[in-house]
């Protein structure tokens, strides 16, 4: 078995253990207001960090790519217009692809 498969199996076991740990947490702990607030805010913060990292990261460097920034702007505009999620994705991808097709990179 290669090192890659060992890493995959170890990651799968870790994910299963984490899921099992979440299911065994006592209900009184989950009902605590601080825990509830934490569970509400952490996914938003992680998604925001991932979005920023994917927008500005280029390998190991940070780079402001105009096409990516315009795509992000189109997504924000669509979100502010309360567009459905699929429309937001298509607007962002279409804007970035259109600018790249015009030679903006």
Residue 75, number of CB atoms within 10 A of its CB: 22
pLDDT above 90 for 85: yes
Distance between CA 76 and CA 88 in Å, rounded? 8
Distance between CA 94 and CA 100 in Å, rounded? 10
pLDDT for residue 74: 97
Distance between CA 95 and CA 36 in Å, rounded? 38
In this prediction, residue 93 has a pLDDT band, given cuts at 50, 70 and 90, of very high
Using a cut of 0.85, tell me whether the model's pTM lies above it. no
pLDDT above 80 for 1: no
């Amino acid at each position: 078995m290669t090192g890659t498969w060992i890493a995959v199996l170890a990651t799968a076991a870790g994910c299963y253990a984490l899921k099992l740990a979440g299911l065994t947490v006592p209900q009184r702990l989950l009902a605590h207001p601080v825990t509830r607030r934490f569970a509400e805010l952490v996914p938003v913060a992680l998604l925001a960090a991932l979005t920023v990292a994917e927008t500005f990261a280029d390998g190991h460097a940070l780079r402001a790519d105009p096409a990516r920034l315009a795509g992000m702007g189109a997504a924000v505009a669509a979100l502010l217009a309360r567009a459905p999620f699929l429309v937001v994705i298509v607007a962002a991808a279409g804007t970035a692809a259109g600018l790249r097709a015009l030679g903006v990179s």
